[in-house]
């Protein structure tokens, strides 16, 4: 997969990188005092590519692919892997067993309906825990399972007690929580908290919630239960990362993700995007806990497997995520990358590019390229060549090869003392190609 811009200058490995200390990310709008409710610096990731991700339109993971994805996610250091219910199919049941036996650091969960048969089947696969789910919204109660809240509560208590009696971790989640009655929600969460459930889950199954609604619901729930709180956000309206962040600020403890956000419809909170968001909030916590340089690998595995390309504007790994183009940005980036970067590409195993072969270029970036090519030229030279690049790039953008040819031949002309007229003779981008020939 092409990850680099054709007309860019690699800057991430340049020798002067270490000479420019990066300041910590400081915003005058950061809270002055730590918020004791917030878990922004203390959260866990439940990675659901092998459950939610299987619900993506193009997804079909055979056992070998599931194992490859599970190992790649474990290498990042995600806390949990969530797998498709063994009740879904015989192959799904087999795969739960295989992945539970890999000896990964991540705990293995499977996602089951609030049903004794499903729970029994799941426990026998050797997973560490069960994520139990049942719908509580009026839509689901009327159009899906047709059960009332008393029935749902009694069933939840029966299933949770059974799982706990087998010594497994158990989460209880409602489905479509943001269109469920608040009193119903809080009373069922209270009931399951009382019998010792490990986590309760809030799920924005339909992607309707916004960050403020999330904050309020999680904050309310936090005051009602003492167990952990897991949150699951769909991305139908583009709020999945922001909602996850708001949930953690309000006291949630676990966030569901999938690689590239794949899942039902347009999916859920993407793993890479969540890690970018959390890195910007607490770099040390994120870097100590997760290996961010492994994100690209798992994204490529999953993208290939489900036959999509990594989006151009993807968090961290999109081909332009660390490409700087405008001349004024390029100058500042070369002086101190923090000026226009809150994410240091090296922390993610990525490389910064300063794009120079276009009409918005600036002479500082061109001068930086001189230096990288080890051509002894002056600021005046850089300004003259930059003027020529702008003129030519009004016709079409130049490739990095074009720019390098121009710089090298200009340098040669200068050594021969003929550089004053050299630039005048180059009237079109194609002349550069001829120079190279």
The residues binding Zn ion (CB under 5 A) are 52
Q: Give me the least distance between CB of 218 and Zn ion, in Å please.
A: 17
Query: Which of these, 213, 146, 153, 154, lies nearest to 185 by C-alpha position?
Result: 153
| CA quadruple 36, 37, 38, 43: dihedral, nearest 10 | 110
Q: Which residue has the tokens 């130049």?
A: 398
Complex with Zn ion: residue 204 or 404, whichever CB lies closer: 204
Measured CA to CA in angstroms, residue 432 lies from 145, 153, 214, 389, 407 at distances of 69, 75, 56, 11, 10
CA within 13 Å, CB half, 185 = 22
- 33 Cβ contact list (under 8 Å, min separation 6): none
Complex with Zn ion: residue 52 or 118, whichever CB lies closer: 52
| Number of residue whose CB is nearest Zn ion | 52
Q: Are 286 and 272 in contact (CB under 8 A)?
A: no
> Active-site residue 324, yes or no?
no
Complex with Zn ion: residue 234 or 388, whichever CB lies closer: 234
Q: Are 231 and 254 in contact (CB under 8 A)?
A: yes
Complex with Zn ion: residue 185 or 407, whichever CB lies closer: 185
Q: For residue 15, count other CB atoms closer than 10 A to its CB.
A: 8
Complex with Zn ion: residue 52 or 404, whichever CB lies closer: 52
CA distance 120 to 141: 24
Query: Which of these, 162, 214, 156, lies nearest to 184 by C-alpha position?
Result: 156
Q: Give me the least distance between CB of 139 and Zn ion, in Å please.
A: 15
Q: Are 261 and 240 in contact (CB under 8 A)?
A: yes
Q: Give me the least distance between CB of 279 and Zn ion, in Å please.
A: 24
| Cα distance between the two ends of the chain | 29
Q: Give me the least distance between CB of 177 and Zn ion, in Å please.
A: 11
Complex with Zn ion: residue 168 or 231, whichever CB lies closer: 231
Q: Are 60 and 262 in contact (CB under 8 A)?
A: no
Q: Give me the least distance between CB of 84 and Zn ion, in Å please.
A: 12
Query: Which of these, 170, 88, 177, 195, lies nearest to 134 by C-alpha position?
Result: 177
Complex with Zn ion: residue 178 or 410, whichever CB lies closer: 178
Q: Give me the least distance between CB of 234 and Zn ion, in Å please.
A: 6
Query: Of the listed 111, 232, 234, 329, which one is catalytic?
Result: 329
For 6, phi and psi rounded to 5 degrees? -60, -40
Query: Which of these, 3, 4, 6, lies nearest to 403 by C-alpha position?
Result: 6
Q: Give me the least distance between CB of 123 and Zn ion, in Å please.
A: 23
User: Would you name the residues annotated as active-site residues?
Assistant: 329
């Amino acid at each position: 997969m092409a990850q680099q811009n054709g007309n860019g200058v690699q800057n991430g490995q340049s020798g002067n990188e270490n000479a420019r200390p990066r300041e910590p990310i400081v915003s005058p709008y950061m809270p002055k005092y730590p918020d004791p409710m917030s878990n922004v610096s203390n959260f866990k990731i439940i990675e659901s590519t092998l459950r939610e991700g299987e619900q993506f339109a193009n997804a079909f993971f055979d056992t070998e692919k599931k194992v490859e994805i599970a190992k790649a996610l474990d290498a990042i250091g995600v806390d949990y892997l969530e797998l498709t219910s063994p009740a879904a199919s015989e192959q799904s049941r087999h795969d739960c067993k295989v992945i539970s036996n890999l000896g990964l650091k991540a705990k293995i969960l499977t996602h089951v309906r609030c049903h004794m048969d499903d729970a029994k089947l799941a426990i026998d696969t050797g997973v560490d825990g069960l994520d139990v789910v049942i719908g509580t919204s009026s839509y689901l109660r009327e159009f899906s399972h047709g059960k009332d809240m008393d029935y749902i509560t009694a069933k939840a208590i029966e299933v949770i007690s059974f799982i706990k009696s087998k010594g497994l971790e158990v989460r209880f989640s409602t489905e479509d929580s943001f269109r469920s009655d608040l009193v119903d929600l809080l009373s069922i969460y209270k009931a399951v908290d009382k019998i010792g459930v490990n986590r309760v889950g809030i799920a924005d199954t339909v992607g309707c919630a916004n960050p403020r609604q999330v904050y309020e619901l999680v904050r309310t729930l936090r005051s009602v239960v003492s167990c952990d709180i897991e949150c699951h956000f769909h991305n139908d309206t583009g709020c999945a990362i922001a909602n996850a962040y708001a949930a953690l600020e309000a006291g949630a403890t676990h966030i569901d993700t999938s690689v590239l956000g794949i899942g039902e419809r347009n999916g859920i909170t993407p793993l890479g995007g969540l890690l970018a968001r959390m890195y910007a909030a607490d770099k040390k916590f994120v870097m100590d806990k997760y290996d961010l340089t492994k994100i690209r690998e798992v994204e490529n595995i999953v993208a290939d497997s489900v036959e999509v390309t990594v989006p151009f504007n993807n968090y961290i790994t999109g081909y332009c995520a660390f490409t700087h183009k405008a001349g004024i940005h390029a100058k500042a980036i070369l002086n101190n990358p923090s000026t226009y970067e809150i994410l240091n590409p090296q922390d993610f195993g990525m490389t910064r590019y300063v794009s120079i072969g276009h009409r918005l270029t600036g002479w500082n970036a061109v001068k930086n390229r001189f230096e990288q090519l080890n051509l002894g030229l002056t600021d005046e030279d850089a300004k003259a060549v930059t003027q020529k690049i702008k003129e030519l790039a009004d016709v079409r953008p130049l490739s990095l090869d074009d720019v390098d040819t121009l710089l090298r031949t200009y340098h040669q002309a200068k050594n021969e003392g003929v550089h004053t007229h050299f630039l005048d003779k180059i009237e079109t981008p194609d002349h550069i190609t001829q120079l190279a020939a």
